[in-house]
Amino acid sequence: MQPANNVMVLYTGGTIGMQASANGLAPASGFEARMSEALAQLNMPAWGFREMSPLIDSANMTPAYWQRLRAAVIEAVDEGCDAVLVLHGTDTLAYSAAAMSFQLLGLPAPVLFTGSMLPAGVPDSDAWENVSGALAALGEGLAPGVQLYFHGALMAPTRCAKIRSFGRHPFAALRRNGGVAKAELVPAALHYRQAKALANVGVLPLVPGIAAAQLDGLIDSGIQALVLECFGSGTGPSDNPQFLASLQRAQDNGVVVVAITQCHEGGVELDVYEAGSRLRGVGVLSGGGMTREAAFGKLNALIGAGLDTAEVRRLVELDLCGELS
């Protein structure tokens, strides 16, 4: 873990740099000058600045934007930066940081995500403490890979989620477990140097009485993979033959279906209950203790890498960057 001496700051927008507009708070340019002024008296590693385009409220984040962010991170490292700090809105920060964990496998530099719950400059804002704390953490030295920094805490993005819409501690590590087998060899197609295509991944939370027609609608929309948010340790409507038939049709059509739990703690073990083993019987894979953010980002990366369906299915249940450990 080498101390960073040349950090690239990538500003995507988000609350941290928002200013008032006629329709409420909106992302604004000019954050580099505000950041320079705020940090002028602090002992920070040298940093450069790049404003991403367009600047967005993170509610408008997309996998296509992740591709631009990924390219910007790689460009910064190729140009000599030894760390990257991403300023990002909090609503989808955990999604983006988890996705980048899989998109940047093998990157020889740390990438740190942070943001703020209140805009820089307003009373009681957490913006500058998060920015300065993140830069200080990079200056002290972090291992290569993606991490999330907020209010003094470093978190693994494949293990955490935004759990609060207020206060200074919006993110927390979820106590998930299940599935600890490490991938012994990561395919070359997943290396950060290899281009990634966009993937079409859906998410479906189960609710009591969910109909097969809802699942069919997703399958027929052209998705390549589905995160199925199951009950408890991975159970679903196993006495609904139409629902099970739809899951079987998904597998027959090459759609990779991964079960995760809706619970904040624990993980999926499909073979504990009959209601889970029947899901396994129609091709549903265990997501172990993966969070929704991790499962969504992982499937986007695996499918975007052009791996065949059998290889995607194999790697889903193996740990690539801490999502199952």
Which DSSP letter does residue 65 get?
H
Burial 134-151 (b: 16+ CB within 10 A, else e): bbebbbeebebbbbbbbb
CA 133, distance to chain mean position in Å, is 21
Give the long-range contacts of residues 26-29, CB within 8 A, separation 24 or more. 26/57, 27/55, 27/56, 27/57, 28/55, 29/55
User: Of the residues 12, 15, 114, 158, which is catalytic?
Assistant: 15
Active-site residue flag, 15 = yes
Q: What is the pLDDT of residue 184?
A: 84
Whether the bond between 170 and the residue before it is cis, its omega within 30 degrees of 0, is no
pLDDT band at 271 (very low <50, low <70, confident <90, very high): confident
How does the average pLDDT of the chain come out, rounded? 95
**Separation between Cα atoms, residue 240 and residue 254, nearest integer Å:** 22
pLDDT of 120 strictly over 70 = yes
Domains and CATH numbers, the chain: 6-173 (3.40.50.1170), 188-316 (3.40.50.40)
Q: What is the pLDDT of residue 178?
A: 67
Q: What is the pLDDT of residue 325?
A: 80
Upper half-sphere CA count for residue 127 (Cβ side, 13 Å) = 22
Sign of the Cα torsion 230, 318, 146, 192 reads negative
> Which residues partner with 46 through β-bridges?
6
Six token digits for residue 92 = 């989808």
pLDDT in tens, 137-194: 999 999 999 999 999 999 999 999 999 999 999 999 999 886 667 888 899 999 999 9
Upper half-sphere CA count for residue 287 (Cβ side, 13 Å) = 36
Per residue, what are the HEC states of 50-84? EEEEEEECHHHCCHHHHHHHHHHHHHHHHCCCCEE
pLDDT in tens, 233-254: 999 999 999 999 999 999 999 9
pLDDT of 299 strictly over 90 = yes
pLDDT in tens, 273-297: 888 999 999 999 999 999 999 999 9
Angle at 203 between CA 283 and CA 112, to 5 degrees: 115
**Separation between Cα atoms, residue 133 and residue 127, nearest integer Å:** 10
> Which residues partner with 20 through β-bridges?
25
> Which residues partner with 50 through β-bridges?
10
Upper half-sphere CA count for residue 114 (Cβ side, 13 Å) = 29
Residue written as token pair 């249940």: 317
